[in-house]
Amino acid sequence: MADAAPYEIPTSVLETLAPSARRLVLNRRGSTVWDVETRHGRFAAKLGYPIKATSEWEGQEWTALAPGREGAILQHLNRKHVSYGDWEHGTWNVQPWHRGNSLYDLWQPHRAEGASPEPDLGEALSCAEAVAALHATGWAHGDIQPAHLIISHGGTALIDLALAQGGAIPAAYDFSYRGCLVHYESPEISRSVLETGTATPTLAADVYALGASLFISATGLRHVAYPDDAGRKDQRQAIVDGPHQPVNVHGVLGKLIEAMLSPDPADRPTSAEVCKELSSGR
């Protein structure tokens, strides 16, 4: 259970949603997410606010804008039942809730001692299809990670499009991309963030992040080895310096992960090619 939320869902949003039940899902610095039941169905409600500077970390303004930016992107992609707006300390959005398990949770049995090392190719394919479907619209996700792939019998939902890039974003909600969770960051993105402070999300970097997501979910290993307590800069430098860890996954999936983690983006398969390989390997 997440810690108590620092802020409540804004009153105007609550009045529109009229929830019959709600559950706090996540409460991290700058972001709170609820799972909300209403008579029109189940929704995720996301609230963003600035991170105040402390002696341990820098202040951040972009977290306040993230739900608004994601809401604008979801509407641009014609996703149904999405709303977003401003509140006192930042932005919020409401979007349909996707039932299912994250890739990381679903593949937990493969990481257990003595477990079967061969994950289900159909589940990997379903994740790749979600990425390929976004890529077919011309958008890069920019923050692919195992928690953002929600798998169900009907397919996989790729959630959290707050950092996506590929079309016009209302200026009031936009902010520059400063990389993603380093456990899934490609060498070229890490290099750009180290050199300039920002980077540009690309389809090839998404493929790398999907490869790193499949790898960690199947084995428990990060794409590149670095100490747990290494600072963000040192982690990024380790990714730039490489090489990535040996891919100890067998068969079609192992070969594909190896190709997806190619240091040169031009050597990686596209998401559509990943789907093709996984379909023929089943």
Ligand X SMILES: Nc1ncnc2c1ncn2[C@@H]1O[C@H](COP(=O)(O)OP(=O)(O)OP(=O)(O)O)[C@@H](O)[C@H]1O
Give the interface with ligand X as residue ranges (CB under 6 A). Answer: 25-26, 28, 31, 33, 44, 46, 95, 97-98, 147-148, 150, 159-160, 162
Residue 149 or 261: which CB sits closer to Mg ion? 149
Spatial distance between the Cα atoms of 119 and 217, rounded to a whole number of angstroms? 9
Q: Output the smallest distance, CB 160 to Mg ion, in A.
A: 4
Which does residue 186 touch among Mg ion, ligand X, none (CB within 5 to 8 A, set by kind)? none
| CB proximity list for 262: less than 8 A, separation 6 or greater | 208, 268
Residue 149 or 204: which CB sits closer to Mg ion? 149
Which does residue 190 touch among ligand X, Mg ion, none (CB within 5 to 8 A, set by kind)? none
Spatial distance between the Cα atoms of 130 and 149, rounded to a whole number of angstroms? 8
Which does residue 73 touch among ligand X, Mg ion, none (CB within 5 to 8 A, set by kind)? none
Residue 181 or 259: which CB sits closer to ligand X? 181
Give the interface with Mg ion as residue ranges (CB under 5 A). Answer: 160
Q: Is 93 helix (H, G, I), strand (E, B) or coil?
A: strand
CA-nearest of 81, 50, 44, 45 to 65 is: 50
**Paired strand residues for 43:** 36, 96
Asked whether the beta carbons of 254 and 118 are under 8 A apart, the reply is no
Residue 3 or 195: which CB sits closer to Mg ion? 3
Which does residue 156 touch among ligand X, Mg ion, none (CB within 5 to 8 A, set by kind)? none
Q: What is the residue type of 207?
A: V
| Residue number, nearest CB to Mg ion | 160
| CB proximity list for 54: less than 8 A, separation 6 or greater | none
Q: Output the smallest distance, CB 113 to ligand X, in A.
A: 26
